[in-house]
Amino acid sequence: MGSKQVFVPTIACVLLLFCFGCKCIASELQATQTATLKVDASSQLARKIPDTLFGMFFEEINHAGAGGIWAELVSNRGFEAGGLHTPSNIDPWSIIGDDSSIFVATDRTSCFSRNIIALRMEVLCDDCPASGVGIYNPGFWGMNIEDGKTYNLVMYVKSAEAAELTVSLASSDGLQNLASVTVPVAGTSNWTKVEQKLIAKGTNRTSRLQITSNKKGVVWFDQVSLMPSDTFKGHGFRTELISMLLDLKPRFLRFPGGCFVEGEWLRNAFRWRESIGPWEERPGHFGDVWHYWTDDGLGYYEFLQLSEDLGAAPIWVFNNGISHNDEVSTAAIAPFVKDVLDSLEFARGSANSTWGSVRAAMGHPEPFPVKYVAIGNEDCGKKYYLGNYLKFYNAIRESYPDIQMISNCDGSSKPLDHPADLYDFHVYTDSKTLFNMKGTFDKTSRTGPKAFVSEYAVWRTDAGRGSLLGSLAEAAFLTGLEKNSDIVHMASYAPLFVNDNDQTWNPDAIVFNSWQQYGTPSYWMQKFFRESSGAMIHPITISSSYSGSLAASAITWQDSGNNFLRVKIVNFGSDTVSLTISVSGLQASINALGSNATVLTSSNVKDENSFSNPTKVVPVTSQLHNAAEQMQVTLAAHSFSSFDLALAQSELVAEM
């Protein structure tokens, strides 16, 4: 994430407002435009789209990971977020009782050398309330506890004298008890790992975890974790959010950022070494770009595992010694280069290698197939970027010659002055500008590195929290990427997720809270392209005086042995369009029975989805009864339509 290339021209904003002002007049006149779309589906002019074209970019922003796809319910589980100096802030932990009954403070007595902060709780009352006094954690804006589900508790405790704790799941005010378990603590100077299962006997969307006692004495706590037992494949991910990702059929996963990788300062950049190994031993860090603490339970290993679970190629974005505010000189970059080589050995090395053995010990003896790395994020033009880049490039090429390396420098309009396999292209802009950028790569040189449009979105001026208008512009832009997929090999929307309680960046593809989620129109738009990767693209021509408001593409693709010709078309304008689709060159007849039309539109171009109306703007599919090589269809104003024409026999298109 960032602002490397941001196109926000004032003129475009004025034109867009003018367009909205004219909408009512156009509607009253019920204007209908005419257009013809010709598709040449012959094998001679077909071209295979790269298998990798459409994927995903995940950044730890908007609490996308911590409090998001990573299912850990406890926030600041190790009490490290307040820093190394004690006493420290334990937020969002708080006390149950008052200062006459309980005293809590952090100290440096943890049994974990990499995260030394622990919490000391002293119960002061001789005659404590029957319900006890103690501490509670509300998680990330409330824990979603559901009736009948099991939650796995792990925590480390010690007490010099025998004690008895009650661990409970309760409502935010503590009055509703959803689950409870008694935990005896032996009197010893050693830390003890406690593992318990709590089964909920009720549902509460804003619950909290409570640890209480009614016996005078001192107990220490560290690394208090609560995870639902039903995470995706048991790998710690929130199932319903991962299901939404699977529905997009991503071909790659770019991670973990973005600006999250860089940091405002290098001391706060993401460090892969500190995010691997047992979760209890990970120190966590403060992400100073997006301004929140992460315990790094979602670490380098988990991102690799998520890529595997999604069936997506991992793209590891690493820090190249540059943050937003400080840089490591090329003369001193060698330790950073070694660090990255070690990260690749962790992912790809044998189970007997130094770092591969660490991966194997974590439960994955087989290597992860990392074949793409991005050397930094949005760092082109910075003082030491080129020198540092070449150090990383040469070292990785020597050790891993098959890895494809991605430069931060844009090569779409002029050649790069350094070697690269791909180059990054980022664009965040208004809808009108992005719609008109559908031809961005038309004149790009076909020699040299390929383009990776790793961050694109309609943003700011007319984006809202994710509108139909924005999704139409994005869809048009993607049809241009399909057309130019001989040079554009990868593309991903950004950002992917936003927790409704932390709207640092809007819009996003998926909005969620502790128990709900929905896709914005930009999410649903991407579903139209999920079969494009690896498909065959065909030439099209549009004939119309209204063609400046239209964008289209045509592909043939397969599903379970069935072949389809898919024609996608965006109507960015405020008029309906009577469209004639004419297909030539097919080597099979069209079966109307298996053909469908899918349309994304709404009554207002600025419409958005929400928790109260999550399906206000979603695709609607119907059978295409008149499917034929020449057919008439109507395009609604401000709409994105896809026509899937079922082919009665296997297409003879090359490489299909």
Question: Helix/strand/coil (H, E, C) string of 198-254?
Answer: EECCCCEEEEEEEEEECCCEEEEEEEEEEEECCCECCCCECHHHHHHHHCCCCCEEE
pLDDT mean over 37-59: 97
Determine the straight-line distance between the first and last CA of the chain, rounded to whole angstroms.
Answer: 35
Grade residue 19 by pLDDT with cuts at 50, 70 and 90: very low
Write out pLDDT tens, residues 141-175: 999 999 999 999 999 999 999 999 999 999 999 99
Q: What is the pLDDT of residue 656?
A: 43
pLDDT mean over 176-203: 96
pLDDT mean over 96-115: 96
Q: What is the pLDDT of residue 402?
A: 98
CA distances from 472 to 428, 434, 438, 602, 615 (A): 14, 10, 12, 11, 17
Q: What is the mean pLDDT of the chain?
A: 94
Question: What CATH homologous superfamily does 33-48+535-647 map to?
Answer: Golgi alpha-mannosidase II (2.60.40.1180)
Q: Backbone phi, then psi, for 23, in 5-degree steps?
A: -60, -45
Grade residue 78 by pLDDT with cuts at 50, 70 and 90: very high
Q: What is the pLDDT of residue 2?
A: 57
Write out pLDDT tens, residues 610-650: 999 999 999 999 999 999 999 999 999 999 999 999 998 64
Identify residue 334 by its one-letter amino acid code.
A
pLDDT mean over 74-92: 97
Residues facing residue 190 across a β-bridge: none
Grade residue 561 by pLDDT with cuts at 50, 70 and 90: confident
Q: Dig out the tokens for 224 from the structure.
A: 């208090």
Q: Which CATH architecture has domain 94-228?
A: Sandwich (2.60)
Q: Report which of 250, 303, 231, 283 is spatially closest to residue 64, judged by C-alpha positions.
A: 303
Instruction: Spell out the domain ranges in the chain.
Output: 33-48+535-647, 55-69+232-453+485-527, 94-228
pTM: 0.93
Write out pLDDT tens, residues 380-432: 999 999 999 999 999 999 999 999 999 999 999 999 999 999 999 999 999 99
Q: What is the pLDDT of residue 649?
A: 63
**Least confident window among 16-25, 112-121, 188-197, 599-608:** 16-25
With a pLDDT cut of 70, the percent of the chain lying above it is 94
Rounded Cα–Cα distance for residues 182 and 168 (Å): 9
Which CATH class name applies to 55-69+232-453+485-527? alpha beta
Rounded Cα–Cα distance for residues 257 and 285 (Å): 15
Q: What is the pLDDT of residue 652?
A: 40
Grade residue 548 by pLDDT with cuts at 50, 70 and 90: very high
Q: What is the pLDDT of residue 7?
A: 41
Instruction: Check whether 596 has a pLDDT greater than 90.
Output: yes
Rounded Cα–Cα distance for residues 3 and 460 (Å): 12
Write out pLDDT tens, residues 528-540: 999 999 999 999 9
- For residues 517 and 500, is the Cβ–Cβ distance under 8 A? no
Would 55-69+232-453+485-527 and 94-228 be classified into the same CATH topology? no
